[in-house]
Structure 1
Amino acid sequence: MTTDDQTWVPESCTLPNAQRPLRLAEFDDLFATALREQQRLSPTHLRWRLDPAAEPTARDLTDRESSCCSFFSFTIARDADALRLDVQVSAAHVDVLDALTQRAAAGMTA
């Protein structure tokens, strides 16, 4: 599986296929412009540390993603110097979190 294709997007995602590349591009932009660090806390739990200025974008994007992909749980909180965004999934969706982790890592190095 590569993060360039969409084979990792589960059937339970209700975002129309035509809109998926646009949503991925929004995540890619967030990763490239605001992602400072990511940490895999467990197979089902990922934490991103973002530039605090990205909070409105991160909130909007995760709200929209939650509405079409109910298997995601996003929690946003402020730390002293960054915005913390926790992403959690059930064990059945670990492969989706794996792909998102890879995509974020690629975005940080781009």
Structure 2
Amino acid sequence: MSDQHVTTEDSWVPDSCALPTAERPLRLAEFDQFFQDAVRGADRLSAQHLRLHLDGAEQVEKAARNLTARESSCCTFFTFDIARPDLHSLTLDVRVPAAHVDVLDALAQRAMSVRVQR
């Protein structure tokens, strides 16, 4: 299987993702909703590392853990780390290997474009 990306307008999912194709639009919608509701900012720490600054609410942390656990099970190239630097802050670090930098680029762009739309 190649690692080319699905070319639909709303998708940045590589072919290597094990999520069934029919479920991908639903997962993308979940990410969009999460980005819109929870993301407050982003830092690109390196080509392979994105840090999302999230709303610090407890339900946001639960949602982030749930969504990233499910995403890790189908797209094993992602590494997600959730941290709470202080009581009111929450970060989500997303890392990928060099072969998937383009997926991280698309994820970062999507997170910020959805966030800006709110």
Q: TM-score, normalised by structure 2?
A: 0.87
Q: CA deviation at 1:82?
A: 1.4
Q: Find runs of 4+ consecutive structure 1 residues off by over 3 angstroms.
A: 1-5
Structure-1 separation of matches of 2:56 and 2:66? 14
The 1:39–1:3 alpha-carbon spacing in structure 2 relative to 1, beyond 3 Å, is farther
Q: Which residue of 1 aligns with 2:44?
A: 40
Partner of 1:78: 84
Q: CA separation in 1, counterparts of 2:10 and 2:102?
A: 14
Residue in structure 1 matched with residue 33 of structure 2 by the alignment: 29
Structure 1 gaps, min length 5: none
Q: Kindly provide the CA deviation profile for residues 59-106 of structure 1, in whole angstroms up to 9, marking residues without a partner as x.
A: 000000000000000000102231110000000000000000110011
Q: Which amino acid aligns with 2:95?
A: Q
Q: Larger Rg: 1 or 2?
A: 2
Greater RCO, CA 8 A, separation 6+: 1
Letter of the aligned partner of 2:105 in structure 1?
D
Match in the other structure for 1:94: 101
What secondary structure does 2:77 align onto? coil
Alignment partners' CA distance in 2, 1:12 and 1:34: 27
Cα 1:87–1:3, aligned 2, differ >3 Å: closer, same or farther? farther
The aligned amino acid for 1:75 is: D
Q: Deviation at 1:4?
A: 3.2
SS at structure 1 position matched to 2:106: helix
Q: Which residue of 1 aligns with 2:10?
A: 5
RMSD: 1.6
C-alpha distance in 2 between matches for 1:15 and 1:103 = 19
